[in-house]
């Protein structure tokens, strides 16, 4: 039996600092936007500030998850707390869905009686929001395609930038033409965009929390690769799942009755799994001999996860 895994402490430390910085920046902007909302009695700014507060909570979850992921393994938590980076985007996606629903409810109410909103403060403060959110998204973009925790934060920030851009455009429309209905229409469009974008994150984070095979990995291809390894006659009890940001685990039993250097075979196979599929925490068990073949024949039908 053999296993291998890499070290990711430096990556986790960098992620923690990034999430801390992004969370604090967005919290400061939320306070600024809420202050101007109260000062101008602008419901648009106050509503967006409430939305941003929800995003700050989501970013705070990502920050906490990145910090928890740095905790070392223990006797009870043998994998450490890496799974926190999978649970955080799930909570993040649920928060986004809730705010999208609340936004939709407010849109219905406003269409019947659009309030008069001072356009200039909306334009100025929302423009500041575009700059802040795009800058914060740039800070967390590194690795977001393969890290659900960063992906959740990245989607939050890009959604906020879209909200701010739509608010700026609506502000110009209200300023130039007095179209009060632009405010609820813009909110409706933004709510749909957020809901559609969040659905993919919700699905992926739920699958990861349920130990599904990561979407970037084809389990049949991995099984075929293991079967093609020298001397391997069968593969069973194959499991592939995500441990956390950038870490994928695999366990498998390989039927290899031939005598030989199994240690060298395992080392080469582990290296190939990491290089080809990004599976960097693999555990392989070699089974050999006639008794192994009999046990495999009597076992439950072959399956892989």
Per-residue model confidence as pLDDT tens digits over 57-79 = 766 766 776 677 677 777 777 66
Q: Report how far residue 117's alpha carbon sits from residue 177's, in angstroms, rounded to the nearest whole number.
A: 13
As a residue count, the chain comes to 305
Final residue before a domain boundary, out of 148, 175, 209: 209
**Helices (DSSP H) in 178-301: which residue ranges?**
182-209, 219-227, 262-277, 290-298
Residue 93: the pLDDT is 77
In the chain, the percentage of residues whose pLDDT exceeds 70 is: 75
Residues 62 and 43 occupy one common structural domain: yes
Residues 271 and 194 occupy one common structural domain: no
pLDDT confidence bin for 166, thresholds 50/70/90: confident
Residue 15: the pLDDT is 60
Final residue before a domain boundary, out of 148, 183, 209: 209
Contact (CB, 8 A) for 248 and 225: no
Final residue before a domain boundary, out of 163, 189, 209: 209
The whole-model pTM stands at 0.57
Residues 172 and 262 occupy one common structural domain: no
Domain contains 305: no
Domain contains 112: yes
Instruction: Give the CATH number, domain containing residue 111.
Output: 1.20.1510.10
Question: What's the number of domains the chain is made of?
Answer: 2
Parent domain of 177:
2-209
Contacts (Cβ under 8 Å, ≥6 apart) of 98: 54
The least confident of 149-153, 167-171, 208-212, 275-279 is: 149-153
Residues 263 and 185 occupy one common structural domain: no
Residues 187 and 146 occupy one common structural domain: yes
Domain contains 304: no
Residues 202 and 230 occupy one common structural domain: no
Query: DSSP letter string over 59-98?
Result: HHHHHHHHHHTTSPP-SS-TTTTTTHHHHHHHHHHHHHHH
Domain contains 148: yes
């Amino acid at each position: 039996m053999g296993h291998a895994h890499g070290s990711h402490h430096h990556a986790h430390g960098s992620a923690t600092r990034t999430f801390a910085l992004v969370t604090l920046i967005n919290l400061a902007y939320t306070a600024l936007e809420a202050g101007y909302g109260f000062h101008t009695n602008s419901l648009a700014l106050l509503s967006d500030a409430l939305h941003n507060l929800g995003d700050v909570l989501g970013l705070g979850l990502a920050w906490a998850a990145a910090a928890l992921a740095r905790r070392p393994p223990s006797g009870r938590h043998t994998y450490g707390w890496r799974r926190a980076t999978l649970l955080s985007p799930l909570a993040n996606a649920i928060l986004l869905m809730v705010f999208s629903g609340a936004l939709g409810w407010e849109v219905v109410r406003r269409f019947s009686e659009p309030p008069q909103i001072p356009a200039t403060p909306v334009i100025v403060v929302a423009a500041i929001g575009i700059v802040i959110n795009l800058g914060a998204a740039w800070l967390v973009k590194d690795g977001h395609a393969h890290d659900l925790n960063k992906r959740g934060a990245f989607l939050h920030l890009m959604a906020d930038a879209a909200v701010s851009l739509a608010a700026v455009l609506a502000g110009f429309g209200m300023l130039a033409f007095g179209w009060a209905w632009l405010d609820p229409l813009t909110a409706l469009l933004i709510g749909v965009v957020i809901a559609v974008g969040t659905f993919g994150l919700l699905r992926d984070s739920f699958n990861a929390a349920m130990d599904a095979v990561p979407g970037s990995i084809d389990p049949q291809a991995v099984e075929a690769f293991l079967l093609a390894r020298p001397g391997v006659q069968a593969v069973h009890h194959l499991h592939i799942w995500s441990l956390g940001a950038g870490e994928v685990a695999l366990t498998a039993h390989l039927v290899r009755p031939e005598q030989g250097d199994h240690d060298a075979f395992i080392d080469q196979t582990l290296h190939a799994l990491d290089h080809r599929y990004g599976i960097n925490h693999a555990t392989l068990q070699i089974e050999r001999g006639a008794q192994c073949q009999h046990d495999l024949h009597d076992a439950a039908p072959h399956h892989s996860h």
